[in-house]
Structure 1
């Protein structure tokens, strides 16, 4: 396929896309200096309305109401936005989600709570290809608690399967920690099947939804999930450093024993009591002061996703990744580029990874050209396709730019044709 043909095909898909008009709602979508932004799975574009809403908050609430704002709604925002998140993207009934802390801190809290709930068990199951934070956190907990890690080795272009988990869990398993969508390959785990396998072994499961929330629908209640957490600066467009969120199934809330006891997670914070008594419900997971400013942009994106609907978001995601895979096969595979993601659309999230030895040196050059994908060691480019802010034409621009650089760096590999 030649470049112009790919570009025309992308333009036709953009014209037919029923969600295309939402792209103009995001700041920078018409910035000519950024020709292709395919890193929304690391940092999503801000909504244009966020510029006004943050300014209005600073002027009228922070500046106008000052300390009174805490009594006028700020303290309720983490649970209010948590409930909205649960309803719009997670399939979670009210009272089970809260916005607080970073993903790392929430994963630590939930993992520690899970092993505390299984005091007679000594093992944590995790896959070797999980995001470093997830692995590092359970490594630390294993050291703290004298536990053993059981590692799952997964396919390079896949992730943990029900069979993998069934082979790893047993009577000593306290916790299984996995990602809904693998951060590198984009593989979607079979959450209900894996959760059921872990439960049959008497274990609890903690799911990291950082690379799926807002792009891949979830049904945490229906899937019988125990705990979940994720960030909000990718497909939820909360901005750099935006607070993360956590889910705790209602059945676990009365006995949730989280390790970071803070005053706002206590039953009556403003009594300044001498001894800690946990709050009822999901608020017991809170430790410190809610990050109010950081969660405002997230709320606006949830409003938009709620209007569009997660099924429509997911349809656009599958079409984008399918177009990207086809373009890679036709334009980049002849240069030796390898797809390191599932080929079936229903098995992958909203990003794909492609591998080539030249990519490490190429990505900085692409950024200079206004083509912004994501690099992952040792030689992978992730093409992150945010359904509401990414166009098919941006995909075409990126693939054409990569192909052009590969062509000038030595031409096709042996046996291939450009």
Structure 2
């Protein structure tokens, strides 16, 4: 059994704060500060450029990738780190599209994270393809012989709706299409099984439920059947078979290494390593059960005490990730009032109060406290203060 009291104790959680925004940025693992300080003092400062070999910086993206692989149902040597999620989305979709050159359609849904759609649209414009966007519930029916790539975020960033990865992948394969799954709101929150679902490509970020810190690097996974054939449009020197030969012509590295692009963000990846230490004793089945327990308790508590809000997430936990959204006509102001009282969730336009439940450090006390504070704010109308209506760039 996973010891969630132990994992909670591994994080720095500010006094007086109930943090329900780990689906946007996870809190800092206590070990991260010292780990990064040691890296800078013992590696960068002392080793200088020799740190690429002596400290293993060059191999770090693969070693860290192997640690993430266990959390997403992948195998060793199948995941590599680096760059941003948008870059990894571009790589995965372009590689998948190139494997289906006789087809033009990249299919996605309106619940996808907008940045993924921006990337896909840019790619579609560049390769004379079509980005086709349908409602989340219409994805399965929209998969036809024209689709080259199905690009889906497994868990909707607003509603928490969870797509059936295995079923949609099977439907795509039956139609001759390939799949790209964005795990930004899945990895570290639900029991992802890329191998069991027979998916083709997957990407994800590490600053949300994996707690790697702001701007932590993204990851990319390629199913072994595509590893030697996949060729993304974006080719960088770290993905070259001999990066330090400085050839003028690109020759892709073998396997997942060809999905590397730029120089690894060593300092950021060192912080991520400390975050991944917390996962060493975590069973993913236990994690999912804990996630369901927390989100179910929150929904029950809010609906019993807050009649002014409406559930915006799937009621069935099997169709939901580890976040819950409620609608309120003044959701932005209500969320600002919550934050002012130490309950940190976030707002998504136009009217969604969004709460992320991270099983590693959230518990039922957090749920009960958040429900009480939300009910109090809605009951006394304290959200209706001019300061709570002033929108900032980051919410």
Q: Same fold (TM over 0.5)?
A: yes
Residue 393 to residue 103, structure 1, CA distance change in 2 (3 Å) = same
Q: Deviations over 1:213-239 (max 9, x none)?
A: 011111111211100001000110000
Tell me the equivalent position of 1:195: 169
In the alignment, does 2:318 pair up with 1:346?
yes
Query: Which residue does 1:218 correspond to in 2?
Result: 192
Check conservation: 1:237, 1:297, Cα contact below 8 A.
no
Provide the rounded CA distance (Å) in 1 between the counterparts of 2:274 and 2:31.
Answer: 8
Write the mapping of 1:167-206 to structure 2, written as runs, cut at 5 A.
167-206=141-180
Q: Secondary structure of 1:118's partner?
A: coil
SS at match of 1:276: coil
2:39 matches 1:52: no
2:61 to 78, 86, 95: 78
For 2:245 and 2:330, locate their aligned partners in 1 and report how far apart those are by CA, in whole Å: 61
CA RMSD of aligned residues (A): 1.6
Equivalent residue, structure 2, for 1:299: 273
Deviating 4+ runs (over 6 angstroms): none
Contact 2:39 2:270 in 1 (8 A): no
1:145 and 2:100 matched = no
CA distance in 1, matches of 2:214, 2:299: 29
| Residues 1:125 and 1:62: Cα distance change in structure 2 (over 3 Å) | same
- Equivalent residue number for residue 386 of structure 1: 358
Structure 1 segments unaligned to the other structure (5+ residues): 1-16, 155-159, 412-418
**Structure 1 residue corresponding to 2:233, chosen from 239, 259, 264:** 259
Pairing partner for 1:369 from 321, 329, 341: 341
Q: Is the 8 A contact 1:355 1:379 kept in 2?
A: yes
Q: Does 1:359 align with 2:367?
A: no
Whole-Å separation in 1 of the counterparts to 2:343 and 2:62:
38
Aligned to 1:416: none
- What displacement does 1:345 show? 2.0
Residue equivalent to 2:100: 118
After superposition, give the CA deviation of every residue in 1:364-398 in whole Å (9 maximum; x if it has no partner): 22222222111111111111111111122222222
Residue 18 of structure 1: CA displacement? 5.0
1:274 Cα shift? 2.1
Question: In structure 2, what is the equivalent of residue 165 of structure 1?
Answer: 139
Which of 205, 222, 225 lines up with 1:231 in the alignment?
205
- TM-score for both structures, normalised by structure 2: 0.93
What CA deviation, in whole Å up to 9, does each residue of 1:177-233 have, x standing for no partner? 111111111122111110010011100100000001011111111211100001000
What per-residue deviation string (whole Å, max 9, x for no partner) do you get for residues 30-89 of structure 1? x3342x1110110001110111111111111111211111012111110111111112x0
CA apart distance, 1:410: 9.5
Equivalent of residue 67 in structure 1, options 23, 26, 49: 49
**Partner-residue secondary structure (3-state), 1:214:** coil
Q: What is the aligned partner in structure 2 of residue 248 from structure 1?
A: 222
Q: 1:100 aligns with which of 82, 107, 110?
A: 82
Q: Tell whether the 8 Å contact from 2:10 to 2:278 is kept in structure 1 after alignment.
A: no
CA distance in 2, matches of 1:231, 1:208: 9
For 2:354 and 2:293, the matched residues in 1 are separated by 17
The equivalences for 1:266-305 within 5 A come to 266-305=240-279
SS in 2 for 1:151: strand
Contact 1:33 1:370 in 2 (8 A): yes
The answer (yes or no) to whether the contact 1:45–1:389 under 8 Å persists in 2 is no
Counterpart of 1:310 (choices 284, 290, 295) is: 284
CA distance in 1 between partners of 2:175 and 2:382 (Å): 54
Give 1:295 deviation, angstroms.
Answer: 1.5
Contact 1:264 1:288 in 2 (8 A): yes
| Separation (CA, whole Å) in 1 of partners of 2:317 and 2:144 | 32
Mapped to 2, the partners of 1:185 and 1:211 lie a distance apart of 11
